[in-house]
Amino acid sequence: MVVLMGSSVFAQKVDTAKISYKPKPKVVSRVPQIKANITPYKVGNIGLGSISNQTTLNTPLKSGKVITVLKVYPNPVSEQINISLKLERETTFVVKITDMLGNDVVTLANERSPAGEQTKTYTIPNRLNTGIYFLKIVAGGEPVVKRISVL
């Protein structure tokens, strides 16, 4: 029987020359950061150089909203859709259905409508495929967009 004194056969020495502690690299976000001086959007703030100053002075500012859409029902819709809304004044009223890309698919209404609260009912055409669409309601140049599901 052979006995080794002072050292173990299975033990290994750690090579300290090969161990190095490197700090972890910074995690870089994959979302690009845009650093620019961008002015926030304000009504009447769109312009093209000196022309914008002249048009801003001549354009009267809107006083409040023209349209308030209270309810669009039923959603999901299969045959008919009801729109409950309030108009502040008599105005031209347009209702369109657009697809996810913003293309107009169907125009449901283009009419002159009196002021006040009202409920309008429209029939959804059969040619409309099942899916998600946007109901774009424009009154007095002011758009309101609601998401609808068509069955």
pLDDT value of position 59: 41
Asked if residue 40 is part of any domain, the answer here is: no
Asked if residue 108 is part of any domain, the answer here is: yes
C-alpha–C-alpha distance, residues 38 and 151, integer Å: 42
CATH code of the domain in which 128 resides: 2.60.40.1930
Asked if residue 23 is part of any domain, the answer here is: no
Asked if residue 28 is part of any domain, the answer here is: no
Asked if residue 138 is part of any domain, the answer here is: yes
pLDDT value of position 51: 46
pLDDT value of position 82: 94
Asked if residue 146 is part of any domain, the answer here is: yes
Asked if residue 91 is part of any domain, the answer here is: yes
Closest of 67, 63, 65, 76 to residue 118, by C-alpha: 67
Q: In angstroms, what CA-CA distances link 20 with 16, 17, 23, 24?
A: 8, 8, 10, 12
- For the cut 70, the answer to whether the pLDDT of residue 102 exceeds it is yes
- For the cut 70, the answer to whether the pLDDT of residue 94 exceeds it is yes
Q: Which domain holds residue 87?
A: 67-150
Asked if residue 76 is part of any domain, the answer here is: yes
Ranges 13-17, 33-37, 88-92, most confident: 88-92
What pLDDT digit, counting tens, does each position of 23-37 carry? 777 766 676 666 767
pTM of this structure: 0.55
Number of domains observed in the structure of the chain: 1
pLDDT value of position 55: 40
